[in-house]
Amino acid sequence: MFTPHTKHDVEVMLGSIGVGKIEDLFKEIPAQFRYPDLNLPPRLTEMEAAAELESIASANATTKDLLSFLGAGAYDHYIPAAIDNLLQRGEFYTAYTPYQPEISQGTLQAIFEFQSLICKLTGMDVSNASHYDGATAAAEAVILAYGHFRNKRKKILVSRAVNPQYRQVIRTYMQADTSLQIVGDDPETGIAPEMDKFIAQIDHDTALVVVQYPDFFGRIIDYTQLIETAHQLGALVAVAVNPTALGLLTPPGEIGADIAFGEGQPLGIPLSYGGPYLGFFAVKDALLRKLAGRLVGETVDADGKLAYVLTLTAREQHIRREKASSNICSNQGLMTLAATIYMSLLGKHGLQQVANLCYQKAHFAADQLSGMDGFTLVDEWTPFFHEFVVKCDEPVDQVLEHLLQHNILGGYNLGQDYPELKDHLLLAVTEKIKREDIEYLCAVLQEENHG
């Protein structure tokens, strides 16, 4: 379909090679396995494929058909049109990894700008060119810290209020090292915002403390004391951050975090049923040499002109091989570009605006809901950013089912991940939600109560 060869081309080429037919080029494949008959659906032309894909897509309900209050790690923000317009330029999306800087300055400069934006947003010194997503970035933070102490500190302390998927991925990545303990997120230590029981577990054997900001429940917690304590005991601190929140809130770099990482999907990347997304990862200068992943640096070319190149490549797998700290090869390329363009288009004002709108609307929603019978806002869980938790008198599944019948995605059932939060619902409100949407949500819930 995309092969341009004419019969004549093939003839000439075979003649040049010195074989009679194409099959002769596959002689080394054992005869009994050669040319299997694949059981696949009949081939389609582009027109047929387009129709088929439209048909499959229409079997979904989407956040365009449904009013969505779903968050829990992926957020429905407005994506300005210019982003996709630029992303679809063939020079960007059909380019390869910029190993040859002379003909990759577009990609390299865009990554350099991404690194800069992330540093400014998070208050950190150096950012890499991205990881796959927030969850794998969390695992890489653990690998970095563990290696930093040369595997001598054997404890990783992770808060239970960190996204459950992040905690699962950390455990998957580290499962081969049975001497390493990943603790702190048990129900006994709990999720109280004061975090006393959690902080009490930091000791001289702790390599890394991992917390989230805002946390999985949307709460804004002051980690200054926690970070001080950790540092006094020689441990590193990694904070998982929501980038939209950083348009409004004090960044982790300003309160002493050693590592700031997170999910960059809110920065101009479509929901797309979970991927591809964007893991960003930034550190203080002291940890620069431990950074995994690609790094773009500034230099000059043979004429003294400013140029960008991949640098410190000796850390990476293609040179270090088994001594590399991480096996990571690709970064999230296009998604990194999307986030860079988003942050450039919105700029300081736009990002502040979006953050503020999310905050304001979420608080209005929380207010309205807490005034209703059958729903209780978990009071001591303020302040929060754009997500909040309500306790439901009825089973959450029932509430969500009722809402779905009215074309509303009501939020995330926390009981799935937290047995102690069996009747609790996590709702997210972004700048896309209008006041009348919130009022509609309440009206439908009111009906559920009284109907």
Partner 1 sequence: MLVPENLKYQKTDEWVKVKDGIATIGITDYAQDSLSDVVFVEFEIDVDDEVSVGDSLATIESVKAAAEVVFPVSGKVVEVNQTLVDTPEVLNESPYEEGWLVKVQVSDESELDKLMDAPAYDTYCQER
Partner 2 sequence: MAEPTIFDLSVTGRKGVTFPKADVPETALPKGFVRGKLQLPEMSEMEVVRHFTSISQKNYAIDLGFYPLGSCTMKYNPKINEAVSRLPGFAATHPRQPENSVQGNLYLMYSLQEMLKEIAGFAAVTLQPAAGAHGELVGTLIIHKYHKDRGDHQRTRILIPDSAHGTNPASSAMLGFEVVPLPSDARGNVDLEALKSLCDERLAGLMFTNPNTLGLFDENVCEVVRIVHEAGGLVYGDGANMNALLGVFRPGDVGIDILHFNLHKTFSTPHGGGGPGSGPVAVANHLVDYLPDPLVGIVEEGDEENAPLYGFIHPVKSIGRIKSFNGHFGMHIRAFTYISMLGKEGLRDVAEKAVLNANYLQQKLKGTYTLPYDRPCMHEFVLEGMWKDVPGIHALDIAKRLMDYDFHPPTNYFPLIVHEALMIEPTETEAKETLDRFVEAMLKIAEEARTNPELLHDAPHHTPVRRCDELKAAKDLVLCCYVSENWPPGPQE
The angle, 0 to 180 degrees and rounded to 10, between the axes of the packed helices 164-174 and 134-148 is: 50
- How far apart, in Å, are the Cα atoms of 305 and each of 158, 185, 312? 46, 51, 20
Buried/exposed code over 339-378 (b: 16+ C-beta within 10 A; e: otherwise): bbbbbbbbeeeebeebbebbbebbbebbebbeeeebbbbb
Region of 234 on the Ramachandran plot (φ > 0 left; ψ -120 to 50 alpha; else beta): left
Calculate ∠ Cα 327-328-334, nearest 5°.
165
Shortest approach of partner 1 to residue 320 CB, angstroms? 5
**Partner touching 348 among partner 1, partner 2, none, CB below 5 to 8 Å by kind:** partner 2
Using CB under 8 A as the binding rule, whether residue 320 contacts partner 1 is answered as: yes
Which are the contacts of 409, defined by CB distance < 8 A and separation ≥ 6? 63, 66, 67, 68, 69, 70, 403
Judged by CB under 8 A, the chain residues 365 through 394 that form the site for partner 1 are: none
Question: How far is Cα 384 from Cα 380, in angstroms, rounded to an integer?
Answer: 10
Mark 114-153 with x for binding to partner 1 (rule: CB under 8 A) and - for no binding. ------------------------------------x---
CB 133 within 8 A of CB 163: no
Structure tokens at 358: 């999310």
Stretch binding partner 1 (CB under 8 A), from 35-43, 223-231, 311-319, 365-373: 311-319
User: In the complex with partner 2, which residue's Cβ is closer, 184 or 251?
Assistant: 251
Using CB under 8 A as the binding rule, whether residue 324 contacts partner 2 is answered as: yes
User: In the complex with partner 1, which residue's Cβ is closer, 102 or 373?
Assistant: 102
User: In the complex with partner 2, which residue's Cβ is closer, 66 or 233?
Assistant: 66
- How far apart, in Å, are the Cα atoms of 331 and each of 126, 131, 343, 395? 16, 6, 19, 42
CB 391 within 8 A of CB 413: no
CB 204 within 8 A of CB 234: yes
Applying CB under 8 A, among 314, 349, 380, 450 the residue interacting with partner 1 is 314
Applying CB under 8 A, among 67, 104, 199, 202 the residue interacting with partner 2 is 104
Shortest approach of partner 1 to residue 208 CB, angstroms? 19
Mark 369-408 with x for binding to partner 2 (rule: CB under 8 A) and - for no binding. --------------x----------------x---x----
Total site size for partner 2, rule CB under 8 A: 201
**Partner touching 341 among partner 2, partner 1, none, CB below 5 to 8 Å by kind:** partner 2
Using CB under 8 A as the binding rule, whether residue 171 contacts partner 2 is answered as: yes
- Cα separation of the two ends of the chain: 58
Residue 263 phi, psi dihedral angles, 5° rounding: -95, 120
Applying CB under 8 A, among 12, 50, 319, 372 the residue interacting with partner 1 is 319
User: In the complex with partner 2, which residue's Cβ is closer, 236 or 355?
Assistant: 355
Mark 329-358 with x for binding to partner 2 (rule: CB under 8 A) and - for no binding. xxxxxxxxx--xx-xxxxxxxxxxxx-xx-
Give Dmax over CA atoms of the chain in angstroms. Answer: 83
Total site size for partner 1, rule CB under 8 A: 9
Mark 53-92 with x for binding to partner 2 (rule: CB under 8 A) and - for no binding. xx-xxxxxxxxx-x-x-x-xxx-x-x-x-x-xxx-xxxxx
Using CB under 8 A as the binding rule, whether residue 150 contacts partner 2 is answered as: no
User: In the complex with partner 2, which residue's Cβ is closer, 184 or 247?
Assistant: 247
Structure tokens at 434: 């209008």
Q: Binding residues for partner 1, per CB under 8 A? A: 150, 289, 312-315, 319-320, 323
